[in-house]
Structure 1
Amino acid sequence: MDNAALHRFDLNLIKVFLAISESGNLTQAANRLGLTQPAVSHALRRLRDEFGDPLFVRVGNGMEPSQTAIALRPAFEQVMRLVGDTMQASRQFEPATSDRQFRVAMTDTGEYVILPRLIAALHSVAPQASVQSMRIAPDDLGAALRTGRVDAAIGYQPGLEQTGAVARPVLNDKIVCLFRADHPLTRQPWTAESFAGLSFIDVGRDATGYRMARQFIDDLGIRYRTVAQLDHFTIVPEILRRTDFVALFPHSVCRMMNRHREFDHLELPFGVPTFDVSFWVGQAFSSDAALTWLYELLLTQMEA
């Protein structure tokens, strides 16, 4: 690429290149970028024209990178980091006048614990700003942060640092056993055997903290009966109120849910590890003054 071509080069093409490189699929790349597949195909044609190379070749249902594409990827990743750092360092964030929409990836339990406090605080000090909560599959989260599809992610995301994302601590959490306040469980010994004899509402199977705890329990050889499998936790309290069923929930959610003392919880009788909930940003956006401000605002609310 000569100097004239470099001056007219569209940086958005780098985002498309990286999305294809990471996903190996045009449809998935389009979904990550919030674009249509024809738009991604058009961008790929432009990239091929610029570099005189196919860059990605269809193999089966995927796209394999050429040697040129393999060589370009680290350089393009560095370009995005430098551009992001330069842009964010040059910007100042004024909460009182900002109308920025913060796009934050989190689960429904994350919304329950974090959003009420965060939105109330945001409205108080940055009344024109807003939050958009987004669901991003764990496998796509690194790319979403890197390309700016989301500004931040909040949650327990082991391995996300390997994608170049930067973590800032929010809270340490653990999975506990939740049940109604007058449950017979409170009047009997709490052991691994009594745990295994309970009937469980299985919820949040895709949540990383839940998966970690479930794997730990499975590795201990403990089996229990599941009476229902649900995708969302919001209906679980109503089920627990009416039955002797129990559920595995993050301790942070249990505390919020039990403000009216309708429920009780016990730590698991076999020491499941805790997990760290973090505020994640893409490396290229780690100097974003607005995101740093949002994190600090969140932290003050979680510590209150």
Structure 2
Amino acid sequence: MNNVHLDLKRIDLNLLQLFNALYKHGSVSGAAYELAMSPSAFSHGLTRLRTSLNDVLFVRRGAQMVPTAKSIEIADTISLALKLLSETLQRAGPFDPRVSSRNFIFTATDFTAFAVLPRCIAAIEKVAPQVSTRIRYADHSIPVEELRTGKVDFSIGYTMLTSETPPDIQADDWFTDRYVVITRKGHPACSQGLSLETYLAAKHVVVTPWNHARGEIDQLLEDLNLKRHVAVYLPTVLAAPFIVGSSEMLMTLPRLAATTLAQAAEIQIHEPPFHIPDYCIKLFSHSNYAQSDAHVWMAKTLLGTTFL
């Protein structure tokens, strides 16, 4: 069954660019200039568009072309459709970071985003000044379906919270980091360093981005027949350093995140009193898109960014 609207069948889709430009500028001369057309050619195209849509679309009031009710109704949809079409064609064509205005979509937790992304964005901006990035909150450790459908270009994740990677998902090792413990400056129980006894006796703050019942450190302690007292569970890292900095509570987290947080809150960094495996950041993408020029460039730029 053909669901294409009759108006769409008989319209020259190039005329939608005229509509979009005129709606934006409110004048034929301004819209024609944007599209590199003469005002007479633009007016001719507008006449054809009016006939196709059976509406005058714009009426002149002084020096302005004012949209009709129908134009107002369809303007946002036309603008979005043109944007999506442009981005789709741009994805399919050769990618030149120096001139591309491509939008890349990432998922990440705020825990990884605030510590990792600032340097990455700076590296991207130096080479690709018009490229934009959209960061979305990660609903899952690996957003497999979103990567498969192309709704997400890359996901930033870490191995201690990810299960086995599906075969069609590419997982590139980015960098590893060690865990540390943060306390408020001058914590009375840590003046001579942080002992295991002090660690287990203290209250702890834990960030669980997907509302897990417990953090990965708790699983590690359980394997050692040890247990800590988690007093505060948080879905994001934003409040964590300030809670630690104004209380007697402890928090265990990667060193890179801790040093970044130390710039914003009165906290002190300690070595953990037991062995914790390194924290490994990975860059996830889908194999269907991983070999495109744009993805190859972005992956190379990100993986080339150093932190340690």
Give the corresponding residue for 1:200.
204
Using the TM superposition, give the Cα deviation of residue 233 of structure 1 relative to its aligned residue in structure 2, in angstroms.
0.9
Name the aligned partner's letter for residue 292 of structure 2. D
Give the corresponding residue for 2:152.
150
The answer on whether the counterparts of 2:209 and 2:236 sit within 8 Å (CA) in structure 1 is no
Q: How many residues are paired up?
A: 218
Structure 2: distance between partners of 1:88 and 1:160: 33
Structure 2: distance between partners of 1:293 and 1:144: 20
* DSSP-derived class of the 1:301 partner: coil
Using the TM superposition, give the Cα deviation of residue 303 of structure 1 relative to its aligned residue in structure 2, in angstroms.
4.4
The answer on whether the counterparts of 1:142 and 1:164 sit within 8 Å (CA) in structure 2 is no
What are the within-5 Å matches in structure 2 for residues 277-296 of structure 1? 277-296=281-300
User: Is 1:220 matched with 2:224?
Assistant: yes
Structure with the larger helix share:
1
* DSSP-derived class of the 1:93 partner: coil
* DSSP-derived class of the 1:133 partner: strand
Q: Which of 118, 121, 141 is equivalent to 1:119?
A: 121
Give the corresponding residue for 1:267.
271
Structure 1: distance between partners of 2:142 and 2:278: 24
Q: Deviations over 1:221-269 (max 9, x none)?
A: 2222222222111111222221221112222201222247842222322
1:136 to 1:163, Cα distance in 2 relative to 1, 3 A: farther
1:240 to 1:140, Cα distance in 2 relative to 1, 3 A: closer
Using the TM superposition, give the Cα deviation of residue 95 of structure 1 relative to its aligned residue in structure 2, in angstroms.
0.9
What are the within-5 Å matches in structure 2 for residues 4-83 of structure 1? none
| Higher mean displacement: 235-244 or 261-270 | 261-270
Structure 2: distance between partners of 1:260 and 1:285: 38
1:197 to 1:212, Cα distance in 2 relative to 1, 3 A: same
Structure 2: distance between partners of 1:272 and 1:140: 23
Give the corresponding residue for 1:93.
95
The answer on whether the counterparts of 1:153 and 1:279 sit within 8 Å (CA) in structure 2 is yes
Q: Which of 296, 302, 306 is equivalent to 1:298?
A: 302
Structure 2: distance between partners of 1:271 and 1:238: 26
1:237 to 1:140, Cα distance in 2 relative to 1, 3 A: closer
TM-score norm. by structure 1 comes to 0.64
Structure 2: gaps (5+ residues): 3-88
Structure 2: distance between partners of 1:261 and 1:228: 18
Q: Deviations over 1:29-53 (max 9, x none)?
A: xxxxxxxxxxxxxxxxxxxxxxxxx
Using the TM superposition, give the Cα deviation of residue 160 of structure 1 relative to its aligned residue in structure 2, in angstroms.
4.9
The answer on whether the counterparts of 1:143 and 1:163 sit within 8 Å (CA) in structure 2 is no
Higher relative contact order (CA 8 A, sep 6+): 1
Structure 2: distance between partners of 1:104 and 1:160: 20
| Higher mean displacement: 279-288 or 166-175 | 166-175
The answer on whether the counterparts of 1:153 and 1:280 sit within 8 Å (CA) in structure 2 is yes
Give the corresponding residue for 1:252.
256
RMSD over equivalenced CA pairs, Å: 2.8
Q: Deviations over 1:93-113 (max 9, x none)?
A: 211111111101110011101
Structure 2: distance between partners of 1:294 and 1:250: 25
Q: Deviations over 1:260-280 (max 9, x none)?
A: 784222232220111321111
The answer on whether the counterparts of 1:88 and 1:288 sit within 8 Å (CA) in structure 2 is no
The answer on whether the counterparts of 1:98 and 1:129 sit within 8 Å (CA) in structure 2 is yes
Structure 1: distance between partners of 2:224 and 2:182: 20
User: Is 1:229 matched with 2:230?
Assistant: no
Structure 1: gaps (5+ residues): 1-7, 9-86
Name the aligned partner's letter for residue 125 of structure 2. H
Structure with bigger gyration radius: 2
TM-score norm. by structure 2 comes to 0.63
The answer on whether the counterparts of 2:194 and 2:271 sit within 8 Å (CA) in structure 1 is no
* DSSP-derived class of the 1:302 partner: coil
The answer on whether the counterparts of 2:141 and 2:157 sit within 8 Å (CA) in structure 1 is no
| Higher mean displacement: 210-219 or 237-246 | 210-219
Q: Deviations over 1:102-129 (max 9, x none)?
A: 1011100111012212222222321211
The answer on whether the counterparts of 1:88 and 1:289 sit within 8 Å (CA) in structure 2 is no
